[in-house]
Amino acid sequence: MLGEGILKGMAETARNFIGSYVKEDRLTTVQYPEERLPQKEAARNFPFLVFDGNDPHAGMRCVACQICEKECPPQCIYITKSKDRKPDYIGKPQFYPSVFDIDISVCMSCQICVEVCPFEAIKMDTDYELSTDNRFGGLLLDKNKLAKSADYYRKIHPTEAAEVDGKLNAEKVKAEAKAKADAEAKAKAAAAPKPAAAPASPPAPPAPAPAAAAI
């Protein structure tokens, strides 16, 4: 019968229309600014810099190695290395970025900076309400705007952050154990063989060793 297909289609539309009042899966939209869907844990938007503790400068994990700057496909990262050094989370003195800019209007959210970073210093944010009328003030993010605490990172990507924390803690424990072992070995070396070989050996007491281990 001519028109049968049309009627069948209309019945389908009616079923969906009425169904949207009674069945959850037929009504799939949410009223956005008031209602929000929960963020996916893996969601990524733009990069930010992670710092430990409360002070963005002291806790900044980035050591300005500039790998992300080189690997970034659209070249949206600009880094200037500092002249001086500051201790990192293990206590080793490291450079830090004196300038770290990301132009998020150029960034394409590919996450390659995160993948290549050997210091777990740059991670992806999930904040998506970034529209602004200020091209340079609002979209060219500098170090202060990019720095976000590790607690924030743990909040937005809990699973990933737990892995990273585990890795960093293991490194820290290893570094501490190594420093301790080094200090002990050096102390031993300083203490034990000296009296035995006192007359023949040239004067080489490893005096600065305990100081280096204490940093």
Partner 1 sequence: MNATLDNTIQIAEPPKNYEVLPKESSAGGTDLLEVAMGPHHPSTHGVFRMDVVLDGERVVKLKPVFGYLHRNHEKIAENTTYLGSMPYTDRLDYFCSLTNNWAYALAVEKLAGLQVPERAEYIRVITAELTRLQNHASLVGFLMQDMGALGTPLMYAFREREKILDLFESLTGARMMCNYMRFGGCRVDLPEGWLEQANKVVAEFPRFVDEFENLISGNEILMARTQGVGVLPKELAINASITGPMLRASGVNYDIRKVDKYGIYDRFKFRVPLGDHGDVYDRYMLRVLEMRESVKILEQALPAIPVGPIVDPKAKIRGFRPKVGEAYGRIEAPKGELGFYLISDGTPNPYRYRVRPPSLINLTILEDMCLGRVIADVVIILGSVDIVLGEVDR
Q: Is 66 in the site for partner 1 (CB under 8 A)?
A: no
Is-contact 98 125, C-beta < 8 A? no
Q: Is 8 in the site for partner 1 (CB under 8 A)?
A: yes
Q: Is 38 in the site for partner 1 (CB under 8 A)?
A: no
Q: Is 210 in the site for partner 1 (CB under 8 A)?
A: no
CB of 71 to partner 1, least distance (A): 7
Name which of 159, 127, 133 is nearest 36 in CA terms.
127
When the beta carbons of 111 and 144 are compared against partner 1, the nearer one is: 111
Number of chain positions touching partner 1 (CB under 8 A): 29
When the beta carbons of 42 and 192 are compared against partner 1, the nearer one is: 42
Q: Is 19 in the site for partner 1 (CB under 8 A)?
A: no
Name the segment binding partner 1 (CB under 8 A); options: 3-11, 58-66, 147-155, 199-207: 3-11
CB of 46 to partner 1, least distance (A): 12
Binding letters toward partner 1, positions 111-130, x by CB under 8 A: xx--xx-------x------
Q: Which residues contribute to the site for partner 1 (CB under 8 A)?
A: 2-6, 8-9, 11-13, 16, 28, 40-44, 67, 71, 73, 108-112, 115-116, 124, 159
